[in-house]
Structure 1
Amino acid sequence: MSQTKKKTASGEDTKPQISFINKFFRGSKHRSSIAEIRRESNGLEKNNCQPNVGTQEITATDFAKSQPDSSEMEGESKAEKNEQFLQKLGKKAVNKCLGLSSCGLTTADMREVVALLPSLPDLEELDISWNDFVGGTLHLITQQMHLVSKLKVLRLGSCRLTTDDVGALGEALKVIPELEELNLSWNRKVGGNLPRILQKFQEGNKIRTLEFVDCALTSEDGAFMGQLLPVMQNLEVLDLSINKNIRGSLNSIAQGFKTTSNLKVLKLHSCGLSQNSIKILDAAFRYLCKLRRLDLSCNKDLGGGFEDSPAGLATLGHLQVLDLHQCSLTGDDVVSLTQVIPLLSNLQELDLSANKKMGCSSENLLSRLRFLPALKSLQIHNCALDGESFTALAEASVHLPGLEIFNLSWNKCIGGNLKLLQETLKLSASLQVLELSSCSLVTGDLAFLASIIQTGHLGKLRKLDLSYNDNICDTGWTAFCQNVQFLKELTELDISLRPSNFQDCGPWFGHLLCAMTKLLEITEIGMKRWILSTLQEEELECFNQDHKRSIHFDHGRFQ
């Protein structure tokens, strides 16, 4: 028996403990009425053998009326069962949200989820993403979708939806008119079936977010999307990433953008875009005056698409995020972007990484980053920068006081030249992430970095990546480890060596352990391929025992 039904030896009810879920499913007023009925029935049981003189006789009908109603008992039983189900998954129904993502739901669990729905008439958010066994069982939920007609957010990402699931979902969407967000990403059967899902959407719908990442969308799906966009006047987020076949219907999609003026986020990552695709999109950009985030990354055939001055891109005055990493940008692309990017004065995040052809042509572009005072994240790793372009970048970065993320990894020219960033590192009071992996740093670079840290700069730094810089001697590592203690907010540090290189840890390891006693936030230290001596292994073990800190030293103990 549950605690709400237990009685003391004296026959009186114990005080019920109101759980969160019971409170969610039932009102406290209803539970108190049940308790009163039980107390009355207890009194009847105690007095039934010796009724007092003058006491009115209790009829069988009256007694029956005093018992808890079977429907009430059944409701309480369901509430307890619902609570047990959610507790098993380690989840709770919080306010108007039911999040069951990555719970390993089984078919039986799906039936339990369906049983929850009648108790959640005000549900606004349902997330059952990343549950493989949802596939083939979605109809169990869609048949009851009318019970949660106030639903605003539905996430079904990576659920292995079947063709039948997709069809059932299309029928169910017509009974949830308040829907604002739909995420079906990582479900390959969505491809070729997009009209079946979205055909019920009519003009006046409230959809704000559509996410179809890696859904194997076809060219026909893309054409349908283009035709549907004009009736989605509230659409703010559209993510069609990793759907390479939509390139053939990009004209239709671009035409749809002309009437989708509220769009704020457009993601076309890894969509097989070509030079011509950029020209098509650029013509549509002038209609997307509210666009805040544009992701065209990982389109390797895009190189050369910006060679003609992208006038449409220049009109995106509200753009805050521009991601062009791994787009095979050419020297001519860089020349054109040099004219455009400085005009995007609200830009906060810029990613030009993994465009190796831009290196020797990027001096002018990088020098003009000084005109982006709002920039918080600059990712320019693996761009084959040369000395001139790095110098231009160093000079421009001084004018970026709000910079929080600075990624320069895999640019070999930085080795021996880190001092060029002296003023930037001193002035960047907001810097939280500094990545200098595989930059051919030398001992002098690390000594310089140590001096910057010692003088109280980089106080907000949380992540520092110095990995794959194998030419630094023990002197440099010692200077660094003696001063890293001043990075009080540091959570991640990586000093790993290259996969092909193994070195013995020097005496600096003791200084590193000493520093860790003063860095209370750090949780991860990458030291792969550094070989610890027996004594150093013992020192590390003693450190872990004495300080009982959850710091993960990843030094390849398996070596």
Structure 2
Amino acid sequence: MSQTGNKSSSDGETKPQTLFVNKCIRRSKFRSPKAENRKESNDLKTTAFRPSDETPKPNMMTKTITSEMELRPRMEEKLFPPKLGKNPVDKCLDLNNCRLTTADVREPVALLPSLPDLEELDISWNDFIGRTLHLLMQQMHLVSKLKILRLGRCRLTADDVQAQGEALKALPELELNLSWNSKVGGNLPLILRTFREGSKIQMPELVDYALTSEDGAFVGQLLLRLQNLEVLDLSINRNIGGSLNSIAQGLKSTLTLKVLKLHSCGLSQKSVKLLDAAFRYLCELKTLDLSCNKEVSGGFEDSPGLAVLEHLEGLDLHQCSLMADDTMWLSSSPGIPFLSSFQELDLSANRKTGSSSEKLLSRLFLPALKPLLINNCALESETFTALAEACVHLPALEIVNLSWNKCVGSNLKLLLETLKLSASLQVLRLSSCSLVTEDVALLASVIQTGHLARLRKLDLSYNDSICDAEWTIFCQNLWLLKELTELDISLQPSAFQERGQWFRHLLCAVTKLPEITEIGMKRWVLPASQEEELEGFDQDHKSSIHFDHGGFQEADFSSLN
């Protein structure tokens, strides 16, 4: 970082490199978490599934700085060691989501000679550096120890892709992430042709490249050289389904593969058969994601796939239009219930399985299962009863999502024992479940007895039939959820109700919840007196809690009657 210095030019203006430093300082507060999935099982890794990228609160820096010379060293000390570093042994240069412009690219390029030990370079999510990658690639020989290069969502052009392919001849073992760059499609061989047989590459990231069928065929050939591959993610490349035969053949040589993700790849019933033939070679596979491929519906019938994936820990089949025969395959021996190490299951948004999944859900005796995601599956009463009875055998549950299954309403009592026994439960989602007053009363009693002490996220939104008295009882016990970070009790878009006396109990509970940051209350109409009360609460507690009420609304119920 000494290269950025605290010097000024002779005319009094800061040198360009310092301007670049200051720009990244100013924009670092817009930094967002790095992308990964956004599926419900990532809910815990928000707490548990996603890395945090918090920025300092505004009140951390209240002292007025009267000169840029005073501000710069302070900012460099606090913000730039993890990005640029201050000494030549730093190994990471992180400029992710800094809103770099074409002119700014010259600045990290100028820093490379001072970072000979650099191992990781991240310039992702800078939309305006396309067409300038050649400037960086020309200097790649200066960082011969580089192991990871991330350039996701940078609007790279075909010329950028070609420049990178030429530069990688000197770094054939580099881990690449060019995800969310659609111009890569059709040009993939220009980048990856340098990978040698027996390469140590473990995780090439190829998400949302707009890969063509020809690119898919090239990937199949490439897999034959990557025998140390552990993660293959081809998600959101909708045109590679037609080349899956080549990819499946290549997978047979990746004996060390642990994660295979083909989310939204245009797979078909035939694709399932092709993958089945490859699965028997993937004895180390732990995670399989085939989600958002609606054309695979019916393709799992008579499939032996899971029989050979004995180490499988996670399966994602959400939004696959699964049929009755598919769920029979999942439950038959040796299916999901017979995988002793199984930990994650996502069957959400498969509405055709509602009446046919009873056998599967009744056999979920999986002691290591953590997320159970069956939201929006049109479950019927018998199916939900079978699930409730099986859930008592799922002691490790951390996430339960039953949202948009109307049969849960009036039947939450069936899950009573599960709610009592699931000591590790952290996320409970019951949105739009037609919950009634008795359901909320039951939930309040479970909270009162301390059985949901680790709960971090609770979603009761879009349940509009709860009376004011039960909301009051619920809010009176809410303070017992000491680890709660998010609560959503919003109403449906078509419903508006006046907040009752329970609102004061909610505010009182919030003062005793040290972790709470988000409370969803959309379409609860806020009378003027309660608007003032909420504003006073914010001022008195200097709260960092976001009350998402969709904006204050006057309580005019003449139009609602």
Q: TM-score range by the shorter chain?
A: 0.7 to 0.9
Alignment of 1:326-341 (within 5 A): 326-339=319-332, 340-341=335-336
C-alpha separation in 2, matches of 1:373 and 1:81: 58
C-alpha separation in 1, matches of 2:342 and 2:184: 34
Matching of residue 172 in structure 1 with residue 167 in structure 2: yes
CA contact (8 A) 1:426 1:452 kept: yes
C-alpha separation in 1, matches of 2:319 and 2:258: 23
CA contact (8 A) 2:203 2:230 kept: yes
Amino acid at match of 1:89: C
C-alpha separation in 2, matches of 1:98 and 1:260: 31
SS in 1 for 2:239: helix
CA contact (8 A) 1:148 1:176 kept: no
SS in 1 for 2:419: helix
Aligned equivalent of 1:275, options 269, 273, 287: 269
Residue number in structure 1 paired with 2:237: 243
CA contact (8 A) 1:209 1:237 kept: yes
C-alpha separation in 2, matches of 1:349 and 1:379: 9
Residue number in structure 1 paired with 2:370: 376
Aligned equivalent of 1:137, options 132, 135, 157: 132
Compare the two structures and name the one with the higher helix fraction: 1
Q: Deviations over 1:95-121 (max 9, x none)?
A: 301111111111221001110111111
Residue number in structure 2 paired with 1:356: 351
Aligned equivalent of 1:228, options 222, 232, 247: 222
C-alpha separation in 1, matches of 2:117 and 2:286: 32
Q: Deviations over 1:274-306 (max 9, x none)?
A: 111111111111111111211111111111011
Gaps of at least 5 residues in structure 1 are: 1-20, 27-73, 75-79
Residue number in structure 2 paired with 1:62: none
CA contact (8 A) 2:172 2:196 kept: no
C-alpha separation in 2, matches of 1:282 and 1:216: 25
List structure 1 runs of 4+ shifted beyond 3 angstroms: 80-88
Matching of residue 556 in structure 1 with residue 550 in structure 2: yes
Alignment of 1:105-124 (within 5 A): 105-124=100-119
Residue number in structure 2 paired with 1:89: 24
Aligned equivalent of 1:344, options 324, 339, 342: 339
Whichever of the two has the greater Rg, that structure is 1
C-alpha separation in 1, matches of 2:545 and 2:113: 46
CA root-mean-square deviation: 1.8
C-alpha separation in 1, matches of 2:197 and 2:349: 42
Aligned equivalent of 1:103, options 98, 111, 119: 98
Q: Deviations over 1:319-371 (max 9, x none)?
A: 2221100000001111111111112221211100000010111111001111x
Residues 84-93 or 227-236, more deviating: 84-93
Q: Deviations over 1:151-197 (max 9, x none)?
A: 11111111111111010111111111441x21111111111111111
SS in 2 for 1:445: helix
Residue number in structure 2 paired with 1:77: none
SS in 1 for 2:248: helix
Q: Deviations over 1:454-503 (max 9, x none)?
A: 01110000000000001111121111111111001000000000001101
Matching of residue 311 in structure 1 with residue 304 in structure 2: yes
Q: Shift in Å at residue 81 of structure 1?
A: 7.4
Residue number in structure 2 paired with 1:197: 191
Q: TM-score, normalised by structure 2?
A: 0.84
C-alpha separation in 1, matches of 2:524 and 2:502: 12
Matched length:
485
Q: Deviations over 1:10-66 (max 9, x none)?
A: xxxxxxxxxxx33x999xxxxxxxxxxxxxxxxxxxxxxxxxxxxxxxxxxxxxxxx
C-alpha separation in 2, matches of 1:289 and 1:378: 24
Residue number in structure 2 paired with 1:413: 407
Go from structure 1 to structure 2 and tell me whether the alpha carbon gap of 1:402 and 1:151 turns closer, same or farther (over 3 Å shift): same
Alignment of 1:156-555 (within 5 A): 156-179=151-174, 181-308=175-302, 310-339=303-332, 340-370=335-365, 372-555=366-549
CA contact (8 A) 2:531 2:552 kept: no
SS in 2 for 1:175: coil
C-alpha separation in 2, matches of 1:329 and 1:244: 19
C-alpha separation in 2, matches of 1:531 and 1:25: 53
Q: Shift in Å at residue 205 of structure 1?
A: 2.1
C-alpha separation in 2, matches of 1:191 and 1:81: 35
C-alpha separation in 2, matches of 1:348 and 1:307: 23
CA contact (8 A) 2:327 2:357 kept: yes
